[in-house]
Chain A
């Protein structure tokens, strides 16, 4: 009896060990799939010391090309925040009544108009 109990325990341990040796978490596959769809992480480029880089290197040029849009968007967001422009609802504004000379009315070159401003007109 004792021998058979020991055998059962030993076999159970062997079975448990064998089923975990090669198995990995299936969630790893989801992680990999998500990583493939992720946007370019250009934050690392921004930390790089450009003066030490060889800008003739096609790898550097390709990275700049890929990250240019993200960096430009970041600059736009910075500009919009600094002028308060992003919070405006342009569709409801009458620009003809606005002093366009005022520095506050100046649209930064890089700013993006919100979708709600589709019908607004500039004089």
Chain B
């Protein structure tokens, strides 16, 4: 029994030393243009999905059908998100092509499977936007944006796959300023 325990302890110490040696060696290629091994990719994806599935359990999704939410969320999406996550009529961008993992194209309908429930999908989008994802380039917008503003973006993202490029342009264009109001100052 003692021999087994000693062997396990020695193996664990060697494993830690081996890992530290690998870390400090600089042998690992950290470039975004160097893809993960399939097993690494699978491990990271599974870690992310299981983490988020637990995190969104208590999220209550509000109503997301207010036209004003679409207008507010649309502008924010255009300003903050479209560079990576694209828009109707656009299938690539510098950021989308160059980032790893590649940001999903949110202007396409979601793949059937995990996120068929609209509520669960909305909760996930809210969580992604608010908390971001470590080491992925996805920012934690919740540090600088209120929940209300983030839900407006979620409302817009829910509709995004149904929009034509013309509808997208109208919804995301900046609002016209007060100077455009007629009879101002009369």
Residues in B whose Cβ lies below 8 Å from that of A61:
67
Shortest beta-carbon distance from A51 to chain B in Å: 18
B182: nearest chain-A partner, CB-CB: A112
Determine if B186 and A113 form an interchain contact, defined as CB atoms under 8 angstroms apart: yes
Shortest beta-carbon distance from A114 to chain B in Å: 10
Determine if A59 and B176 form an interchain contact, defined as CB atoms under 8 angstroms apart: no
Determine if B173 and A59 form an interchain contact, defined as CB atoms under 8 angstroms apart: no
Q: How far is the CA of A45 from the CA of B169 in the complex (A)?
A: 11
Residues in B whose Cβ lies below 8 Å from that of A65:
67-68, 71
Q: How far is the CA of A118 from the CA of B170 in the complex (A)?
A: 33
Shortest beta-carbon distance from B88 to chain A in Å: 12
Residues in B whose Cβ lies below 8 Å from that of A59:
67, 70, 159, 162-163, 167, 171
Determine if B185 and A118 form an interchain contact, defined as CB atoms under 8 angstroms apart: yes
Interface residues on B, range: 20 to 34
Determine if A62 and B68 form an interchain contact, defined as CB atoms under 8 angstroms apart: yes
Contact residues of A between 35 and 55, Cβ < 8 Å to B: 36-42, 44-45
B166: nearest chain-A partner, CB-CB: A44
Name 13 A/B residue pairs within 8 A (Cβ), A-sorted: A39-B176, A40-B169, A40-B170, A40-B173, A58-B66, A59-B162, A59-B167, A61-B67, A63-B170, A66-B71, A67-B170, A70-B176, A73-B182
Contact residues of B between 150 and 186, Cβ < 8 Å to A: 159, 162-163, 166-167, 169-171, 173-176, 180, 182-183, 185-186
B positions within 8 Å CB-CB of A = 65-71, 74, 78-79, 94, 159, 162-163, 166-167, 169-171, 173-176, 180, 182-183, 185-186
Q: How far is the CA of A65 from the CA of B71 in the complex (A)?
A: 9
Determine if B68 and A66 form an interchain contact, defined as CB atoms under 8 angstroms apart: no
Q: How far is the CA of A75 from the CA of B152 in the complex (A)?
A: 32
Residues in A whose Cβ lies below 8 Å from that of B67:
58-59, 61-62, 65
Shortest beta-carbon distance from B56 to chain A in Å: 23
Determine if A62 and B70 form an interchain contact, defined as CB atoms under 8 angstroms apart: yes
* Contact of B65 (CB < 8 Å), options: A24, A40, A58: A58
Residues in A whose Cβ lies below 8 Å from that of B159:
58-59
B64: nearest chain-A partner, CB-CB: A58
Q: How far is the CA of A74 from the CA of B94 in the complex (A)?
A: 38
Residues in B whose Cβ lies below 8 Å from that of A112:
182-183
Q: How far is the CA of A59 from the CA of B69 in the complex (A)?
A: 10
Q: How far is the CA of A60 from the CA of B182 in the complex (A)?
A: 25
Q: How far is the CA of A67 from the CA of B182 in the complex (A)?
A: 16
